[in-house]
Amino acid sequence: MLIDSGGSATVRKNHITEIHDAPFSGNQSGFGVFVHNATATIDSNTIDRYQKEGILVDGFDGPTSATVTHNTVTGIGPTSVIGQNGIQVSDGASGRVAFNTVSSNIFTPQTFVASGIILFQPGLVQVDHNTLTNNDVGILLQDAVGTNVDHNKASKSTFDGIELRGATTNATVSHNESSNNGHDGLYVEPTATNNTVTHNRFRNNALYDIEDQSHGGGTAGTANFYSKNKGRTSSPPGLFQKQKGNEDSDPDTSFDDGED
C-alpha cells in the first residue's frame, strides 16, 4: 500500500500480506505500507510476508509524517535472503510509533542487522509502548536527534535490545525493559553522545546489560548520562552505580502499558 504525493490516508484493521517478489528475493523492495511525501495514520493492522519493510515512513522527497499504532508486524523469521525491518522511519520523517508488536526480523549471515523498529536519520519521533521479540535488534536509532524511546519491551534479540548508533544525540531512553538478548540490553556506539538513559530495567543479557563505547564528561567517563537504571553488568563499570539518596528509589518500574 502506497501513500504519497502530498496525500493523506488512514489505514486501519487490514491484513496486509504477501508483498514480495515471487520467489522471495533480496531486492530492497516489498513494503507492506509505504508513506512517502504524505501523512498517514496506520492503526490496528496485521502485516506479514513482506519482503523488506512491514511499514516504511520515509521523507526523502518531502515532508512526511505518520502515527503508527497497535499494529502486529511479523517478519518471515531467520533468512539469508534479505535483512528485513518491521517498522522504519527515515530521512527526516516524523511521527509516533507506539503500542505495536514486532517480531521475527532476523538476517542469518549477520553481515548487517535486521530490526524490529529502526529510525534512520529521522525527524522528531516518539517510540513508546512497543513489544519487540526475536529480531536481530529490537530498536535501532541511527543518526537520530531528540528521539524519545520509552516504555518499550525488547527481548530475545539476536544482538542487542536497543542500540544507539552513529550521530544519535539528545535522545531520551527511559522506562524500557530490555532482557534476554544475545548481546547487550543497550549498546551505544562511540559517536552517540549527550543521550539520557534513565529508569530502565536491563536483565539477563548475554554480554552486558549496558555497553557504552563513548568517552566524555558523562556517567562513568562516557559521553552519555545514566541514572536510576536497574541492571547488573556494564561496560565501562559504574553505569549502574547507586547515587546517594536514591538507592532503589525508582518510583516507576512497572512499565505501564496504559495509553497516554
CA–CA separation, 86 and 47 (whole Å): 9
pLDDT above 80: residue 50: yes
pLDDT at position 9 over 50: yes
**3-class secondary structure, 218:** coil
pLDDT at 244: 45
Average pLDDT over residues 16-26: 95
Pairing of strands 8-12, 39-43: parallel
d(CA 44, CA 103): 16
Query: Which residues, 6 or more positions from 22, have their beta carbon under 8 angstroms from its beta carbon?
Result: none
Nearest to 118 by CA among 159, 162, 69: 162
pLDDT tens digit sequence for 126-143: 999 999 999 999 999 999
* Measured CA angle at 94 (ends 148, 44), to 5 deg: 85
Answer yes or no: are the C-beta atoms of 113 and 120 closer than 8 Å: no
**In 98-132, which positions are buried (b, 16+ CB within 10 angstroms) versus exposed (e)?**
bbbbbbbbbbeeeeebbbbbbbbbbbebbbbbbbb
pLDDT (0 to 100) of residue 43: 98
This prediction has a pTM of: 0.93
Residue type, 47: I
Mean pLDDT of 48-71: 97
**Could you read off the pLDDT of 212-249 as tens digits, one per residue?**
999 999 999 999 999 999 999 999 999 997 644 334 33
Task: Give the model confidence (pLDDT) of 148-186 as tens digits.
Answer: 999 999 999 999 999 999 999 999 999 999 999 999 999
